[in-house]
Amino acid sequence: MSLLDDRAVAQRILDHIDHKTTDRGREVWREPVANYRSPERQAREIERVFRTLPSAFCPSAALTEVGSFVAREAAHTAILAVRGADRKVRAFRNACRHRGSQVASGCGRKNAFVCPYHGWAYGLDGSLKNIPHEDGFPGLNKSEHGLVEVPAIEHGGVVFIVQKPTSGSPFAELADVPMLLPEDLSLVSATQQETQANWKIAAEGFLEGYHIYATHRETFFPVQFDNLNVVEQFGRNNRVTFPYRNVQKLRTVAPSDRRIEGTLTYVYHLFPNAIVATFPQRVVMVVLEPLDASRTNFVNYTLAKGETLQVNVGAVERDTDFVNAGAKEDRAVVESIQRGLSSGANDAFTFGHFESAIVHFHRELHALLGAS
């Protein structure tokens, strides 16, 4: 289950080019269309998967300074993550302990969180610090009315949370996850965009290169290959490698000296609903938050090396335009799939040997839900 190193990936790609092959799975999977349409199925996914497993919340780079915070909904729950004075990242349910109003929104930096309704104030560690006109609440113990904490950890440059841990080691399975977002990456932007599609359809769009020519004929295909990928699993997760045509230049480099920067994109699928994708000038982290069975909120974080931002802003902007153009094409396709669900044409979707990362995704999801 361990991932290949960069040199081994490069050699595997060159071998595929020479033999006109690609990584193939061993299993064909049929996923019932009902599982994309059912509100009851999605409710089970939220409760039994999203809330009980480690879930990627945001990059560590979004919380660089003391008081830096990110507040958003995760699995239909308002969550606030903040870096404390001790440099530790903590996460809380984003609700005042008086009347439940959210104490923060968006992202930014604060020294304390003050409820906008009645002014109850909380420290960066979640403790209740001040109650205006406190004499009106006789006997209230402030130490018992801090923000409700949820387990959080930084791993591989990503902040993970577990809303409802089911074991004493809720983050144990993150041992499979490598370094994804190194410390030299800085946050460039954080945006959100609603897409009219089930979250699983959105996730599937990242997990195969079988569609490159048909969907991205004018964008990705001129610089990438159609249906040529290295596909790996690590734990419940996937990594799909999308090589660029310029990978061929590595043929003239000794294998021990090969560097893959600028010759491929790694797409990491962090089960269940996060994607980390590497590009020549930047890295993108996308969290797919289900809104309902037919709508997904794309929470997008863009990161780049600080030196790149200082020296070559234009390259980052061109990279951004290129990726956004491809993402627009993918969004059109997944929304088209969603609209087609009600046609009755398919009882199930068939995922073949070129879509083994999707097969792994559904197999893991079914296992956790106890579904066949």
Task: Write down the domain spans for the chain.
Answer: 6-52+182-369, 55-170
Quick: pLDDT tens for 210-231.
999 999 999 999 999 999 999 9
Whole-angstrom distance, CA of residue 22 vs CA of residue 13: 8
Whole-angstrom distance, CA of residue 317 vs CA of residue 312: 9
CA 279 distance to own-chain centroid: 15
Among residues 223, 230, 227, which one has the least CA distance to residue 211? 227
Peptide bond into 272 cis (omega under 30): yes
The neighbouring-strand residues paired with 154 are 159
Q: Which phi and psi angles does 146 have, rounded to 5°?
A: -75, 170
Chain mean pLDDT for the chain: 96
Residue 65 pLDDT > 80: yes
Residue 141 pLDDT > 60: yes
Quick: pLDDT tens for 289-299.
999 999 999 99
Residue 43 pLDDT > 50: yes
pLDDT, greater one: 305 or 18: 18
Residue 306 pLDDT > 80: no
Average pLDDT score over residue span 164-175: 93
**What CATH topology corresponds to 6-52+182-369?**
Naphthalene 1,2-dioxygenase Alpha Subunit; Chain A, domain 1 (3.90.380)
pLDDT, greater one: 313 or 18: 18
Quick: pLDDT tens for 231-253.
999 999 999 999 999 999 999 99
Identical fold at 6-52+182-369 and 55-170?
Answer: no
pLDDT of residue 315: 77
**What CATH topology corresponds to 55-170?**
Rieske Iron-sulfur Protein (2.102.10)
In our burial notation (b when 16+ CB lie closer than 10 A, e otherwise), range 14-53 reads bebbeeeebbebeeebebebebbeeeebbeebbebbbbbb
**Are 82 and 68 spatial neighbours (Cβ–Cβ below 8 Å)?**
yes
Please provide the distance, in angstroms rounded to a whole number, between the alpha carbons at the two ends of the chain.
24
Picking from 9-13, 164-168, 331-335, which range would have the lowest pLDDT averaged per residue?
164-168
At a CB cut-off of 8 Å and minimum separation 6, what does 32 contact?
Answer: 347, 348
Quick: pLDDT tens for 91-127.
999 999 999 999 999 999 999 999 999 999 999 999 9
Q: Would you say the pTM of this structure is higher than 0.75?
A: yes
Residue 365 pLDDT > 90: yes
Whole-angstrom distance, CA of residue 216 vs CA of residue 330: 8
Give ∠ CA 9-324-161 in degrees, rounded to 5.
70
3-state secondary structure the chain: CCCCCHHHHHHHHHHHHHHCCCCCCCCCEEEECHHHHCHHHHHHHHHHHHCCCCEEEEEHHHHCCCCEEEEEEECCEEEEEEECCCCCEEEEECCCCCCCCCCCCEEEECCCEECCCCCCEECCCCCEEECCCHHHCCCCCHHHCCCCEECEEEECCEEEECCCCCCCCCCHHHHHCCCCCCCCEEEEEEEEEEECCCHHHHHHCCCCCCCHHHHCCCCCCCCECCCCCEEEEECCEEEEEEEEHHHHHHHHCCHHHCCCCCCEEEEEEECCCEEEEECCCCEEEEEEEEEECCEEEEEEEEEEEHHHHHHCHHHHHHHHHHHHHHHHHHHHHHHHHHHHHHHCCCCEEEECHHHHHHHHHHHHHHHHHCCC
pLDDT of residue 310: 64
